[in-house]
Amino acid sequence: MKIAVLGTGMVGQALAGALSSLGHDVTVGTRDPESTAGKTEPDRMGNAPYPVWAADHPAVTLATFAESARDAELVVNASGGAVSLDVLRQAGADNLAGKVLLDVSLPLDVSAGFPPSLFVSNTDSLGEQVQREFPAARVVKSLNTLNATLMVNPGLLGEGSTVFVSGNDADAKSTVTSLLEALGHTDVIDLGDITTARGTEMMFAGWIRLMGVLGTSKFNWKVVR
Amino acid sequence: MKIAVLGTGMVGQALAGALSSLGHDVTVGTRDPESTAGKTEPDRMGNAPYPVWAADHPAVTLATFAESARDAELVVNASGGAVSLDVLRQAGADNLAGKVLLDVSLPLDVSAGFPPSLFVSNTDSLGEQVQREFPAARVVKSLNTLNATLMVNPGLLGEGSTVFVSGNDADAKSTVTSLLEALGHTDVIDLGDITTARGTEMMFAGWIRLMGVLGTSKFNWKVVR
């Protein structure tokens, strides 16, 4: 499948690398490819600059948000939640129309320090905002409940855990579920329409505190039933 | 231990019955004991009226919110979230002072139909509202992430799952953790101070959708790490 991964950060790198390893034709989308390709400094989180990662992933190409989305069959929104709507506008509504849009973003509000709160929650969600603004895209919210490493390698945990899909389009959820299973996820729960993204986005409030007390982000939710 | 369980509904009955079975001296608190003791109709959820339950639990006594709290060493808020602050006011700040207040309530807003949203979330929680209004009580938020049956019998699930405690008082959390372990909980995570109740209360948004797609409330979260 031709896949665009919008976002060059830790989540974008993890997903682009893993999807490329699975044999997909992956392009990473960025605001300014020349600037991204020229980076030499680690990001604010201490992650290596994009070119260091790209050197290890020669099959993954780099393009603008719009170019990558235009040529893709499936688009992954791996940008930060605060800029996601802007990134998707740059990708272009026409380039997203009819396509599966896997949205892994979280609506983090860091304006009041740590822990972040959510800038939309409870009676709305970022997943819904994306779907409303791009009605012709087939938005599937998923993978927003665990860290980037576990998104693409859930087997790192000693036992199976759960991920979720939320969206209005059954075929799109089916496509995403197949991708998730290819990444190693063994328990994918379809929560329902895109309004159920409220639930998974709001799990962040517990997740961030768990990270604090467990001293690691290497954990995941499992629905025991 | 002398325990007051405020609330005569499904959650109050489950906790009062289980804590009594463990050998604690349990009084159920209600607004009007005479009215509660005279009920003959099932509640809106179809649960048997309180006297039917009480006949099976002769060791559990019934008293006003204030009487039950006054005589208790530990108070459980098992009232609906929308009335919890009012119930606790009736119990009386003096009767709660210095005591462990185990708050299992959820701030459900049913005004817009199903699914309920939360009337407080994200940057505040009902647990924090309770602690602010009753600063001398030692509030511990817990058991607000699973159904009443599993609260008191987590072994009904085929594998272990997780519950959480949130609160400002370490001794109070330790007391509650011991009670939870006596009820059969094998993985109790101390999330931190009472502000971490935001996280567990917000997990309701995912829980209610899971109940819909799983067709049962007999499930629980487990933190796999």
Whether A138 has a pLDDT exceeding 90, the answer reads yes
Distance CA B2, CA B64 (A): 15
Distance CA B60, CA B72 (A): 13
- What are A's interface residues with B at a Cβ cutoff of 8 A? 112, 117-118, 121-123, 157-161, 164, 189-192, 196, 198-200, 202-203, 205-210, 212-214, 216, 218-225
Closest CA to B193 of B154, B166, B216: B166
Distance CA B203, CA B201 (A): 5
Average pLDDT, chain A: 97
User: Cis bond leading into A107, ω under 30°?
Assistant: no
Q: Do A225 and B214 touch (CB under 8 A)?
A: yes
DSSP A116: P
Whether A46 has a pLDDT exceeding 90, the answer reads no
pLDDT tens-digit series, residues A148-179: 999 999 999 999 999 999 999 999 999 999 99
Q: Do B213 and A220 touch (CB under 8 A)?
A: no
Q: What's residue B48's pLDDT?
A: 86
Distance CA B194, CA B131 (A): 8
Q: What is the pLDDT along chain B (225 residues), one digit of tens a residue?
A: 999 999 999 999 999 999 999 999 999 999 999 999 999 998 887 888 999 999 999 999 999 999 999 999 999 999 999 999 999 999 999 999 999 999 999 999 999 999 999 999 999 999 999 999 999 999 999 999 999 999 999 999 999 999 999 999 999 999 999 999 999 999 999 999 999 999 999 999 999 999 999 999 999 999 999
Number of residues in chain A:
225
Give A189 to chain B, closest Cα distance, Å: 8
Answer whether B190's CB lies under 8 Å from A213's CB: yes
Q: What's residue B224's pLDDT?
A: 98
Number of residues in chain B:
225
Give B148 to chain A, closest Cα distance, Å: 15
Of the partner residues B159, B192, B203, the one whose CB lies closest to the CB of residue A224: B159
Strand runs labelled E in chain A: 2-6, 25-30, 61-64, 74-77, 100-103, 108-109, 117-118, 138-142, 163-167, 188-192, 220-224
Q: Do A225 and B205 touch (CB under 8 A)?
A: no
pTM for the whole thing? 0.97
pLDDT tens-digit series, residues A171-222: 999 999 999 999 999 999 999 999 999 999 999 999 999 999 999 999 999 9
How is residue A111 written in tokens? Answer: 């304006």
Beta bridge partners of B138: B100
Give A169 to chain B, closest Cα distance, Å: 16
Q: What's residue A47's pLDDT?
A: 83
Distance of CA B15 to the CA centre of its chain: 8
Q: Do A191 and B214 touch (CB under 8 A)?
A: no
pLDDT tens-digit series, residues B76-107: 999 999 999 999 999 999 999 999 999 999 99
Q: What's residue B45's pLDDT?
A: 79
Question: Looking at beta carbons, which residues of chain B come within 8 Å of A126?
Answer: none
